[in-house]
């Protein structure tokens, strides 16, 4: 299959062309390509997501594979169906805010190809809740595989986003962690976070996840972020997403700072999952996010306590064949170890070509 090797048609032909466009232009072009009716259905039989060994339970949500698309790629739910056809087990759409937003001034997405990374300071450009609800209505058949990321700077706005989107989703992901939106940090205050989550939990009809900010190695920050994790679990969330982009400063971004994503994050993600796993001890599901690009990464994060993973930046670099490649390789690794279900993955991945 043309997308079955890392050296794919995408990396040889499509990526050099797409990367000639500025990042946001390239994103628009891929949205147009992914919106072409019918085209991506062709991938469905070959996307590697049909092997029952990959079936995953995420806080009560049944998924065909633990590999999901992270929030921010499909902000306005334009390409959910196509992306699922590529082999993702679930799509996290949004982040949705109550009103439409222009986002921050450009340039606000920068590629760092040497590191297989991106920096962004988008600040939630999006069409807002009404548009999201309208589009989600078209994906009722895929509802069981859609998480909706919601955010706001006032509790009432977030509650409204929950009420309107949860009938159309398998789960809700509360984003308190984008480094690019002034105002989200109010929910880094544990009492405020607890109040918000308790209100959401009382009204929720589907599992609720909270996406945490990352904690680099300095201990104050680590303690502060783990306190947020503890608060969220105490307040009754069903799961934690660990974590959002890592704050960076850069003159390449008009805003002067933003979030780093992609390969440099992976080792931190693994350490953070170990931290959170030790803290929650099974009281909440964990979704690992940050720098994931291979089946071995998925294996390591599942072995460390995650129930599922999300990725974004590696999809930009590796193209539409990536979820299929990861699914297939994960099955191969499981076969090597004689493991029949992803829930049984432990220890390091086997070293196979």
Ligand X SMILES: Cc1cc2nc3c(=O)[nH]c(=O)nc-3n(C[C@H](O)[C@H](O)[C@H](O)COP(=O)(O)O)c2cc1C
Residue 171 binds ligand X (CB under 6 A): no
Range 79-118, binding ligand X (CB under 6 A): 95, 109, 118
Backbone angles phi, psi at 304, to 5 degrees: -85, -5
Would residue 178 show up in a list of annotated catalytic residues for this protein?
Answer: yes
User: Which of 129-137, 198-206, 311-319, 323-331 is the region at the interface with ligand X (rule: CB under 6 A)?
Assistant: 311-319
- DSSP run (H or E) holding 171: strand 171-175
Among 26, 54, 70, 342, binds ligand X (CB under 6 A): 70
Catalytic member of 82, 121, 178, 307: 178
Among 104, 127, 245, 307, binds ligand X (CB under 6 A): 245
CA distances from 27 to 123, 234, 302 (A): 16, 38, 30
Range 138-157, binding ligand X (CB under 6 A): 149
Residue 165 binds ligand X (CB under 6 A): no
User: Which of 3-11, 13-21, 155-163, 309-317 is the region at the interface with ligand X (rule: CB under 6 A)?
Assistant: 309-317
Q: Which is nearer to ligand X, 39 or 274 (CB)?
A: 274
Residue 300 binds ligand X (CB under 6 A): no
Q: In the bound complex, what is the minimum distance in angstroms from residue 213's beta carbon to ligand X?
A: 10
Task: Kindly tell me the sign of the dihedral angle through the C-alpha atoms of 193, 194, 200, 204.
Answer: positive
Burial class (CB in 10 A: 0-12, 13-18, 19+), 348: exposed
Burial class (CB in 10 A: 0-12, 13-18, 19+), 163: middle
Residue 258 binds ligand X (CB under 6 A): no
Residue 120 binds ligand X (CB under 6 A): yes
Altogether, the residues listed in the chain come to a count of 353
Residue 322 binds ligand X (CB under 6 A): no
Q: In the bound complex, what is the minimum distance in angstroms from residue 80's beta carbon to ligand X?
A: 15
Residue 71 binds ligand X (CB under 6 A): yes
User: Which of 60-68, 119-127, 190-198, 200-208 is the region at the interface with ligand X (rule: CB under 6 A)?
Assistant: 119-127
The alpha-carbon radius of gyration of the chain (Å, integer) is: 19
Q: In the bound complex, what is the minimum distance in angstroms from residue 264's beta carbon to ligand X?
A: 9
**117: three-class secondary structure by DSSP:** strand
Say if residues 67 and 327 touch (Cβ distance below 8 Å): yes
Distance CA(346)–CA(337), nearest Å, equals 10
Question: Which token pair is 286?
Answer: 């964990």
Q: In the bound complex, what is the minimum distance in angstroms from residue 56's beta carbon to ligand X?
A: 18
Q: Taking the C-alpha atoms of 229, 231, 232 and 235 in order, what is their torsion angle to the nearest 10 degrees?
A: 160
User: Which of 42-50, 70-78, 326-334, 345-353 is the region at the interface with ligand X (rule: CB under 6 A)?
Assistant: 70-78
Residue 262 binds ligand X (CB under 6 A): yes
Distance CA(316)–CA(293), nearest Å, equals 10
Tell me how far apart the terminal alpha carbons of the chain are, to the nearest angstrom: 18
Nearest CA to 322 out of 332, 335, 331, 313 is that of: 313
Among 61, 84, 91, 122, binds ligand X (CB under 6 A): 122
Say if residues 252 and 119 touch (Cβ distance below 8 Å): yes
Binding mask 273-292 for ligand X (x = CB under 6 A): ----------------xxxx
Active-site positions read 178
Positions in the binding site for ligand X (CB under 6 A): 70-72, 75, 95, 109, 118, 120, 122, 124, 149, 175, 178, 211, 244-245, 261-262, 265, 289-292, 311-314
């Amino acid at each position: 299959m043309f997308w079955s090797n890392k050296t794919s048609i995408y990396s040889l032909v499509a990526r050099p062309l797409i990367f000639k466009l500025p990042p946001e232009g390239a994103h628009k072009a891929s949205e147009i390509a992914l919106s072409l009716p019918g085209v991506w259905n062709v991938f469905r039989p070959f996307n590697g997501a049909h092997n029952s060994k990959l079936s995953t339970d995420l806080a009560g949500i049944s998924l065909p594979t633990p590999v999901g698309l992270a929030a921010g790629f499909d902000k306005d739910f334009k390409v959910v169906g196509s992306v699922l056809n590529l082999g993702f087990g679930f799509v996290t759409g949004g982040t949705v805010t109550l009103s439409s937003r222009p986002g921050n001034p450009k340039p606000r997405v920068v590629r760092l190809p040497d590191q297989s990374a991106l920096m962004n300071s988008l600040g939630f450009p999006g069409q807002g809740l009404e548009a999201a609800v309208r589009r989600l209505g078209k994906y009722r058949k895929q509802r069981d595989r859609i998480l909706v990321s919601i955010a706001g700077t006032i509790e009432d706005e977030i509650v409204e986003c929950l009420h309107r989107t949860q009938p159309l989703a398998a789960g809700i992901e509360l984003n308190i962690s984008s480094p690019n939106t002034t105002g989200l940090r109010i929910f880094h205050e544990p009492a405020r976070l607890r109040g918000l989550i308790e209100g959401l939990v009382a009204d929720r009809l589907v599992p609720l996840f909270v996406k945490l900010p990352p904690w680099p190695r300095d201990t104050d920050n680590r303690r502060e972020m783990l306190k947020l994790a503890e608060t969220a679990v105490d307040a009754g969330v069903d799961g934690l997403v660990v974590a959002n982009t890592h704050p960076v400063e850069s003159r390449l971004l008009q805003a002067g700072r933003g979030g780093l994503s992609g390969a440099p994050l992976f080792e931190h993600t693994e350490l953070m999952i170990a931290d959170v796993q030790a803290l929650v001890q099974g009281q909440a599901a964990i979704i690992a996010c940050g720098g994931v690009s291979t089946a071995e990464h998925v294996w390591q994060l599942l072995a460390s306590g995650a129930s599922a993973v999300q990725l974004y930046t590696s999809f930009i670099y590796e193209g539409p064949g990536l979820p299929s490649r990861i699914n297939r390789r994960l099955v191969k690794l499981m076969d090597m170890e004689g493991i029949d279900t992803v829930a049984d993955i432990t220890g390091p991945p086997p070293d196979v070509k």
